[in-house]
Every structure is written in C-alpha cells, then in structure tokens.
C-alpha cells in the first residue's frame, strides 16, 4: 500500500469522482453529497511552516540529507528551539507550544512540525469543530498539505522523532462522559469530555516524496463514518503539516495527557483501533493542514 502511494496521489481525482458517481447512481430519496471535512469554505488559507527544501516531483525517491550544521551552531539553535517549544502556559490543558521545532530553524525560516502524536482541529476563528463529521457517509480519500523542510531539518527530525516522516488519517468516536455512580460509599469519576476511541485508520504513508505540495490519497477500502465522528491526523514520527500564526482563536487538540503538553517528543500517537485516549492538550495559533473527503449517505 505504501509503495503505491505515489500512484494513488496522481489518480486521486478520477477515483474520488468515480466513487461520487457511484453514490449518485444509487436509488435514494436524497442525493449523496461530496464534502471536504477539515477544510471549511470560509476558513482562511493556511500554509504549513518549514520552507527552503529542495523541489520535488512526486513520487520521487527521498532526497539525500544535506550537510549538517556545526555542533556549536546546532547547540545554540537547539536551545532556542526548545525555548520556543516550551513557551506558554499549560493551565487547563491549553498551551502555546505548537510542536517540535527543528534545531536548524532560523529567524527567517521557522520549522515546527506535528511530532509523535494524533491531533484534530478544535476551532478555526469563529468556526467550531471543523474536523467533526457533519453527516453519515463514507470517507473515500484524505489530503495533507506539507511544508518543505530543508535537508538539515529533515535529518534533524528523522534523528530526534523516531524516524522518517509519515502519517495516517484516523476516525475517532467521542466517548461521552459518564455521571458519577455511587456504590457502597464509593464514587466513580466521569470520563473527561475530550476522550475519544479510535475506530478506524488508513494505512500509514511516507511523506517525504510529497514535501512542499498538497497530496491526496484515495482509499482502496472506504471508511464508514457517522455524524459526530472526528477525523484525526496521526503522525507516529513527525509531519510538516502545521501552519503557524493563525490567531489566538484557532486551536487544535493532541492525544497527550495534561501533564505532557510541552513534551512534544514523547510518543503519544493513537494508532491502535479500539483504544481510548484523552486529548487533554489544546494548542493555540496553529492549524493542522489535512482534510478528509466525505461522500454522504443519501
């Protein structure tokens, strides 16, 4: 499946349109509709951080890593990056720490990425819950807009974030909080409101061949979803899919415990279906640049 990702990206549009035509041809009282979940029409354009990398023609082979910076320069940049990554307060699970910063980032070319976690957009300005499925249907494809890290950035993240950049799309089912139940003098605490169970996930895709572009991956096996489910981006290693400086009313949540909101290199990605995870950390001023193509059920 991974080896065919490049072919799938090129054939995305005809395959998705074919799925839509099949849905429209089915007898029903109402027509099926095509929607892009996570990409609201009224939302401003978001460009992921990280730039300056080599131009790529997907699905090209991975670029060779460039010459690393000197140890002294890398140490200074690493300290600066760690300072940026830990900025802000984690009170209430909300923090201004946006992601893991590359040690080779410069003042003119900042490179922050989604690292070793799963996340979804909780708000874009006045638009609430853009990644929530609006109606039942099937997910037939997913898309991701990627920054273009330099060879030094890529080498740094590969070494510090568990390997080469890769990602998948997942489907979350919200777990409603339970009321406290008293039994024999004991009380049972309710589940947090930001608790989700992973019910489905696409195969992981290696991202480096698509750095600097927007790639779409149609699914060989579409995923059934229902209203209220959430589409989530999972990066077990790292993904340059984070747009910065989006304003304080733009937020996203990650599958990290409240005590680890600034520990962006700890593995917290929700990758096993059936597992329940608490999305306790909310980050501000950033957008995850991914979406899912939904064909609604008539």
Q: Quick one: pLDDT at residue 194?
A: 84
Q: What is the pLDDT of residues 111-122, one digit of tens each?
A: 999 999 999 999
Q: Measuring CA to CA, which residue among 118, 101, 77, 136 is closest to residue 278?
A: 118
Mean pLDDT for the chain? 77
Q: Quick one: pLDDT at residue 19?
A: 54
Give the other-Cβ count within 10 Å of 248's Cβ: 9
Q: 2-11, 110-119, 187-196, 228-237 — which is least confidently predicted?
A: 2-11
Report the C-alpha gap between 129 and 198 in whole angstroms.
Answer: 17
Report DSSP letters for 55-84, one per residue: P--SSPPPPPP-PPPPHHHHHHHHHHHHHH
In the predicted model, is pLDDT for residue 22 greater than 60? no
Q: Quick one: pLDDT at residue 1?
A: 34
In the predicted model, is pLDDT for residue 80 greater than 60? no
In the predicted model, is pLDDT for residue 58 greater than 80? no
Q: What is the pLDDT of residues 192-208, one digit of tens each?
A: 668 999 999 999 999 99
pLDDT cut 70: percent of the chain above it: 66
Tokens found for residue 58: 């997907």
Q: What is the average per-residue pLDDT within 130-149? A: 96
Contact 144, 81 (CB under 8 A): no
Q: 87-91, 179-183, 277-281 — which is least confidently predicted?
A: 87-91
In the predicted model, is pLDDT for residue 214 greater than 60? yes
Report the C-alpha gap between 249 and 124 in whole angstroms.
Answer: 7
In the predicted model, is pLDDT for residue 61 greater than 50? no
Q: What is the average per-residue pLDDT within 30-51? A: 83
- Inter-CA distances, 81 with 48, 96, 99, Å: 17, 14, 10
Q: What is the average per-residue pLDDT within 180-201? A: 71
Q: Quick one: pLDDT at residue 63?
A: 34
More confident residue, 62 or 47: 47
pTM score: 0.74
Between the CA atoms of 54, 57, 62 and 67, what dihedral angle is there, to the nearest 10 degrees?
-10
């Amino acid at each position: 499946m991974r080896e065919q990702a490049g072919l799938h990206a090129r054939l995305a549009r005809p395959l998705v349109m074919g799925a839509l035509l099949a849905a429209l041809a089915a007898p029903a009282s109402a027509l099926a509709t095509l929607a892009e979940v996570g990409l609201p029409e009224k939302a401003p354009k978001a460009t992921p951080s990280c730039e300056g990398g080599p131009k790529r023609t997907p699905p090209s082979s991975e670029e060779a890593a460039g010459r690393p910076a000197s140890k002294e320069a890398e140490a200074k940049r690493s300290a600066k990056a760690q300072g940026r990554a830990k900025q802000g307060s984690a009170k209430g699970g909300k923090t201004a720490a946006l992601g893991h910063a590359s040690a080779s980032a410069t003042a003119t070319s900042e490179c922050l990425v989604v690292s070793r976690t799963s996340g979804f957009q909780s708000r874009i300005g006045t638009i609430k819950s853009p990644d929530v499925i609006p109606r039942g249907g099937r997910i037939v494809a997913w898309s991701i807009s990627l920054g273009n890290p330099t060879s030094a950035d890529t080498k740094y993240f590969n070494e510090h974030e568990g390997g080469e950049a890769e990602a998948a799309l997942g489907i979350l089912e919200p777990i409603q909080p339970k009321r406290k139940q008293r039994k024999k003098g004991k009380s049972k605490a309710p589940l947090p409101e930001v608790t989700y169970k992973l019910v489905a996930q696409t195969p992981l895709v290696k991202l480096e061949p698509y750095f600097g572009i927007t790639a779409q991956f149609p699914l060989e096996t579409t995923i059934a979803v229902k209203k209220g489910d959430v589409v989530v981006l999972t990066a077990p290693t790292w993904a340059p899919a984070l747009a910065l400086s989006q304003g304080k009313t733009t937020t996203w949540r990650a599958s990290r415990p409240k005590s680890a909101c600034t520990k962006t290199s700890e593995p917290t990605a929700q990758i096993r279906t059936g597992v329940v995870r608490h999305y306790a950390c909310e980050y501000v001023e950033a957008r995850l640049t991914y979406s899912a193509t939904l064909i609604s059920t008539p």
